Every structure is written in structure tokens, then in C-alpha cells.
Structure 1
């Protein structure tokens, strides 16, 4: 702060209350028993408070505290409270202002007016306010700047600075911010931050800044005194402890960690941080001091491919583009954009998502503005393989080109036209073009064909009906005891028995049952770990616990082994009725 001429005199005060304190009940205040709690340093232009400055004190104790002989000062002026009735009530608030403005503040609560010549009017951009007791001991001190508002709009005037936590262990800018109250401040009453539910301190996000650096973000500020010990941090996969820990200013809710070993791509990591405290002194709880995150490599040419496109939807339907992860590792779709080509130049880029969404190796994702409409019109095997984009490029119904972009690089491009449909397709509306081979380029003749009619003219979110790539035969691991069952309690084939047997631990399985229209009837298990062998049972009840109707059904089983390889099994069976 700048040095200014300092004036120190005794001053008489004007109060709005007449209660006196008994000498026998005088409480000897300690540091921070009374705090400078709110500062109205720049009241213009006003929001809804008077256009005059004030300083608010708060009593953190359950005792009335006499202010007689106490002094309030800034870097230019100081005023000593001489009135024997000058006090602040237990747990209460007291507004200090210029004597000529005291009547304006009476309506907001208890107020004391100081002579204009001695009133330490808080400066709008920066100031140092100090409250001392009658022995000259500093009880509360605030050395603020306008950066403490943490809001570019509010720092221009009309809003007060509020202490966030009156009894916090954090100091300075960490514990101050612009008021959240709609009036612009809370003079004479509880600060606006006290009304916010206080969440426990926790890690909210971990970002890989570069190959040796992590940025760890928290939901609120933390006490800086306990964050420096490097050995209390740990990153798995053999990375270990950081070489350097650096809290970021000015808000202290982020930490940079620098590691000696580089952080490889394609791994699921867990960072562990020490049990340090938030600004109220509450420690990180067990479980809140760790965070799992994935570090993916940049998407390169051929990593993600265009797998299917519907450019001329049915009535009431929507266009879609299906993509496929052709790489060997999970990739972040946040890096991708979709675009069309017009006159040999890229049209507007449409980001696929603004959030990190991982597309795992060998998985599909359907991009559209309304996934529900696609699910209503086509068979769906994986409801989670759909991503709703905020906006989507308009696809020409006759011909056009679709491009996948990552960091200005073209990852894949597919040019289509209605002439690419099979000659037997008389009406192309609602029929998608599917990629037959991922090992061939999208532009190679014959690599995109009309989806099969047996598949319902599109296969959004699962393997294309026209897929012709050589497949490695997978020995059957699941089988049905009978391909017919009738849940009628006659003690004969009342339940569908699903057998499985593996030579080693198989991994996690999801089993869904669909009717002949392709609608999901029952999700039998979801991502459940299987034993080496066993039997699963379906009793014929659907997701609503109602009896499923007679008909032909399809069981779709997805098995993820311990190496994250995905195997798909399909079985057809009949739910039958009694024969009279």
C-alpha cells in the first residue's frame, strides 16, 4: 500500500443504540473475536444500497464486547471509540460510517457514525484497514485490493467486498470476494456466502498439462499451509511423487504437480493428494483426496473413422454420422469436430462435444442432434453409443462430403451421393450408407453400401450389416439349455437358462434381451463380473416386472475380458405359450 499522511485523534461517535454494558460483564476480546467483515469501498454506481461508504464489524463470540478505547484506522486516518456505550453485541454486526451518513445506515442495523474529519473512509482500489483494542493489540486487519472482488463487472462499483468465512484459517484474497446478494451487499446482516451450502473439499478435475505436469483442481480454496510436502502426493503406474508442487494464485483452488517421469498416453490414472484442509479447517475426507482420470493421445489420421452416414432421413427423423475408434486405445471426442465440404473448402466446424467423452478402441458412436428419434426408428443394440450434439452440419440429400477434424487436421473424409445406394433400393430415404472395411479408405469404390433391409436399413451404434472384414472365429462360450421356454409354472422349461463356461476368469458381461421389433425388453445383467462357469436365468418378466408377450427374442451378450477386449454373442429363442 502507498504511504500517506496519518492523522490520529480521539473522536466522539454517534450511535443508534443506548444499551450500556455492566463493568462486571466486560469480556476481554482476543484476536479475531471481532473481525472486519464487509467493506463498502466503492458504492457508485449503486445497485440497491446507499451511495455512501461503510465498514461492517462482526462479533464471532457469544459475548457482548465493549469497543471503548478501540481504534479503527486506514493508512491515512484513525479514530478512537470514546463512548462508553460503543459496543458490539454477541454474534452481532455493527456498521461503521461517516457521521453524516449514519441515518441512512440505521435502517440496515446497528450503526456508529464517526466524525468526517477522522472517518477512515475505505479507498475504492486498495487500502489497509486495522481494528485495535484499547491496549493497541490488532484484533482484525484487512489489506485489500480491488482484485479481491474476483469479478471484473462488480469491481467497477456498487458491490461490497464480503468476508467469505468469518472464522476461516485462510487469509487475504482467499477469504474475500464480491457480494452475491442482489442488493449489492449485506450490511448489518449475515454475509451472502454464509447462505451457500458448504460442500466438503474435494478434487473436481485433473488435467494433463504436458507429459510431466498435472493440474489438479478443487471445488473451493484450500489452506496453503499443508500442501507443500511432495512425498504426500502419489501418481500410480510407477510415476510416484512429484518433483515440485506449485499452488496457483490468486484463488488457491488449483495445484500444479511436476513429475520427473513422463506420463504415458492411454492409461487410467489415479492421483492421491495429502489430507490438507479447506479454509474452514475441514480436512479432505477419505476418498475425496483421490481422483481417477484418463490421459489419451492426440487423435491422428485413421484413428477414428466414419463408419455410417444417414444423409436423407425418414419423415420425422434426423441425419446422423456414425464414427468408429480404429485405434488400439481410448480417445477423447472433445478433440473432434464435424464439417462438410463446399467448393473444395471446409464449411463451419461443429464440435462434437465440449466435455471429455472417451470412445474406447473398437467402439462406435452415433452423432446427431436428436438420438431419441434415431432410437425410435431403428433397432438399437447399445443405447449408450449415441451422442447428442448441440448443432449438426446440414447434409445435402443428394450428395456431399463429411469430414472429421482434429486440431485442424483431417482425420477421415467420406464423399457420398444417392447413386451409391444399391440398385435394388428404389427409395433411399431412411437408408444409411455403411462402411464395409476399415482397412480400406473411405473413398475407395464400393467401400460404402446401403444398409441391409434385414437390419432395418441402418445399424446405428453397432457393427454394420455390410461389414466384410475378416473376423477371428470365437469359440462359443455361451449357450442356451433350450431355445424355447414357457413361463407358465408347469415345471417344464419355465425359465430361460443361459449357460457359460470359460477356461479362465472371463471378465465383465452385459446381457440384454430384445423383442423381434428390436425394442429392449430386459437388461439381465450390466457390467457384471462372471465366474469361470455358471448359469443365468430369465424368468420372462420385462423391465417393468410384467410378463413379456409370446414371440421371438434375441439375446445380445457383450463380454469385456481382463485385457479390455470385447466379444459379442447373439442368441435367438422363443417365448412360447401352452398348447391346448
Structure 2
């Protein structure tokens, strides 16, 4: 016989009847000059458990009782019962092979009378210690006790009665997000002590044996054996190294799926299990003393019960708008009926990036607010209604350049915070204006190219409010900690009426010898432009370094030298506030075909300039404005021939055409509106007094 294993057959020759056969293998025993002996002659001949290496001194017992002889006189015992996944059968496990002749449905009964009936019982052909019992109807969720009696082993030892209890549940199929990844230990002190925690946030009992897990390679591995329940509101922990995890968290149960791959060091802990699984805002590092909370509620758990809130709304095109939410929202709740804008209706809505609603409109919007209602976030919190400002696109009539600091004071040893370059914009409109996509450019080259600064943010400037584009270190976005706030501590930069737009300090680059500054909206249309020169500073100012150029009137000509002068603010400028040299707004607008001068009298020292406002009944082609002294001598031409509309404004700073201060006294302002073909259609004269303070 082969040393590597063989089969010994025994038969009755005349009748050709098989009597016995032993398919032995070296693993059964019988090596090193010792025989393989049968333990119980009445026991099975094809099971290693009934054979052993001879214990005889001679190494064998030929022709005598085997040295390991030990006849089986013990009946089989009931060891385990495993229900099938569908609950329509049981696998009953005995301690040893059983006699198929003693196995019948009557030998297997449930202790409870309302349990299913056992309709068939059969020994498994390949595993004679297992019996499969068919059930009708199938098991329901609950606890059961199976009673077995009259089953014998192959020697004839009969089990009088045995029982074993087990539980069964009807697995429910989880919907997406009902079982979530709740915690990830991806960078433990010991590399092998990684774990992933799952949480059942549903009211279903889930079969872990039907769940699989994988990393980004998507090589899925089954989590647990079949019919392993995960009850509602329960956690389960999946580990790589059972010994390491048990040593660190001895009281936490776990499973160790086969084929676990190491986690990349790039994850965190879930804040709200109902929230999105792909948003950084829903994850945070554990604050637990042990650094993790496997199998328990996360240390950073915070249930999201707040509805989604719109944070920004703007006009994006002539008949389009966008509403931005502070968190992802359900696409099904983003419907045209969820948005109301005065003067137009929403015809279509498209959601992008899970949180931006793009609205198609039936007409050009005229609203200053947008109403949003019945929008839900990803966990089902519903916004009943919210109203927020609606920012319209800027136009040349709404957004103007109001202040420039092109030569900031930057002395490291003067005990003053260094200034930074800035451009201040002012909103003349009675509605919010969007700053999203705003661009700044300088003077174009001969090829038509210009340096471009992307200054826009998802911000709006309020009616009568300011936006300040200021140089800042890369990545610095907080106005409170900005160098601009440090240099101008009295500036109201944190007010709602001020929008702070930091740009890279290396990009702003306002030239000290003058330059063109243009403001473009998102579609590249120019909405404001100033071609400034340093000569616009006050003539009597000895040092212009650290002093901003301020616009005297935001509605007067942006490129008129008389409409700009040096800031008189102690800090050198007024970013985010009314200009120090600004003319006070009139109490009411001038009447038709009228000329109005305010203040009158005025002084250069106290007022800086006076505002000359005109209103016409017809639209002229050209406007001409000249100023005469009391003797009728012309001292200043404010406008030679400028195209104008029905209304307008000019500024006189009390100086003549040479830039010198004129004498105090009365002066006559002669205003003429002239058609291009030569006919004067309107002429007005008004007197204004130039004064001087007595002290």
C-alpha cells in the first residue's frame, strides 16, 4: 500500500458484496514504523476521527485487539442550528455522524407550537454529522428552540433528547444612506490597527452577511457571515488586525473581513450620519480621549436639524440668475416654484455642485430681493421660506471708482502699520450689485492686452455701499486680520455695507506715476474707469505718499481733475466710508431747466469744492460751463463742450484755469446747453460766493 495514502477494500468474493473500505491518509496517523489502528470497530471507516497511531510497544497489534480500542457508547449531541438565509430550512449539526435511518421529520420539533413545521429531514451526503430540515412556512423574525429526539449514531447510540436555541431575523434591504460609514481610523499609532465603523441609521435590521466593503480599487469583500444582524441604531466595527484592536479596545466587538487593504491616510469622523458622505463639512477629527469611538456614538456627533439656507443670489445674465445655498440640497426640491423674483418669473432651474440653483427667467429682473421656499437638504430638513438680497449686474450708472491709494506708506520703523494699495468702488444704485466675477485691468498695450486681476467674490455691495479691492498676502481673506484694517483702524470695513475683496499683493500694482484703472463685470464689459494722474493731489500737499486720491462727487465726471483731490482723513484715506472730501448730497434734486449750486457760500479750506447741478427739459448735445468774476472776466472753463444728458453735475474747486486759487468774493456760473448744429437751447446763470474761514 502507498505510503502517501490509499484505500483498503474488503468484499465477500462469492457474492461480490463490499464489506468495508478504509480510504486512509498519512494525516490520520500511522507513521514512523507504527501502524494505523481503528479506534471503534463499529465506528465509521472513512473518518480520521476513528483512527489513530498505534500505541503498542511493538508499534502494532496484528492479530490482537488494537491498542487504541475504545468503542463508542456515547450518543450524539446536538451542537448547533443554523437557519438558511431565506429562513426556509435549518442545518442541524451533531457532534458525530448520525444514522440516516433514525433521521425523520418526527425527530425534530420546535418547542413553541406556533413555529413552522418540519416537512423533511435528510443527512447531508458529504457531511454525515449534519442534517438539513425543510420548513413550512419559512421562519419569521424571532427566537426559537429546536428539540431533537431518537437520532442515533452509526454505533446505535441514541440521543434521547437534546435542544438548542437560536435566533432568526428576516433581513431587510437597506436603501442608500441607511447604513453609513460613520468613523474611519486611517492613521492609528500602530499601522495595523486601522478600522472602519458602520452605523445603521434606519429602523431596519440589516444582514451584515449581505454587505461588502472596498476601497477606491472597488475590490469588494464580504463583511460578516450570513445572517449576522445589524439592528437599528447599532454600530459595527471592521478591523484589519484582531489582536491589535482587541488590545486597544477590549470591550468593543468587531469583524475582520478577509482581504482587508490598508487605508490611505486621508479621512476623518462623521459629524452627522444623516449628512452627506462626500462633504468635508460632515467630517471632523475625533475629540475622544482615546482618539476614536469605535462601536459608539462619535465624539463629534451633531444632528443636522436646520433647513438649508440660501446665502447669495445674483443676476448672472440679462435673463438669468443664480441662488447659492450653504449646504447641498435635494435636486427634486429645486423647482421653478421654489423661487420668486419681482418683475419676472422663473421658467427653469438647473442644480449644479449640489448647492447652486441656476434660474432661467422670463424677463430682465427688477427685484432687490428673492424669495426661496420649500427647498430640502440631503437629510430632509425643509426650508419653509427665506428672503435674501438679490444682487443685479453692475452697470456704468451703478458702480463707480470712488477712491485710490496708489502710493501707500510702507515704513518699517515709523511705529505705524504699513498701508496697502486699494481701489474703492461705490454703489450708486438703489439695489444690491453683484461683485462676483469682477475684474480689474490697467492700460492696454499696443497689442490690446492688459494685466488682469480677478477681484470678484460671491459678494454683493449694498445700495450706497462700498467695495474695497485691497492688496493682501496670498490666502488672506479675513478683513479683521488684514493689513488694510490695521492701517485704517477707523474704517468701517466689517460693516454689512462694505465688501472686502483681497487680491494678491503682487498683482494690484497701481503705478505711482498714474495709470488707467478699469473695472469689468463677468462678461468683460467695462462698468467703471479712471485714468488717474498724481497731479490730481491737492497742490498744497507737500508729501503725497500715504494719501489716497478721493473723488469729490461720485456722480460727476470720473476723469475730471477737479473731481479728485487728496484725502483729508488723518489715516490718509477712508476705505469703506464716505470720502473725507465728498460733497454732501443735496436735500432734493434740481427742478427741470434749472441750475443749482451747493454749498453756497463755500470755502476751499472747509468744503474743498462746490457742486454745480443742472437739469434740462430737453436732451442737448453739448454742455458748456464757464465761471466769471465780479468784473466779468472769465477765470475758469469747467466744460468746453461735453456730451451730456438731461441731468448732470460738475465740481468747482475754487481755482482758475492755471490751477491757482481765485480771490474770495462772488462769481457767476454761466451754464449753456448747446446743440451740435449751433443753436443754444438753454442758458442759466447763478452766483456763488467763494469764502474763507476767519480763523
Which structure carries more relative contact order (alpha carbon 8 Å, separation 6+)?
1
Task: Give the alignment's TM-score, normalised by structure 1.
Answer: 0.49
Task: Give the alignment's TM-score, normalised by structure 2.
Answer: 0.42
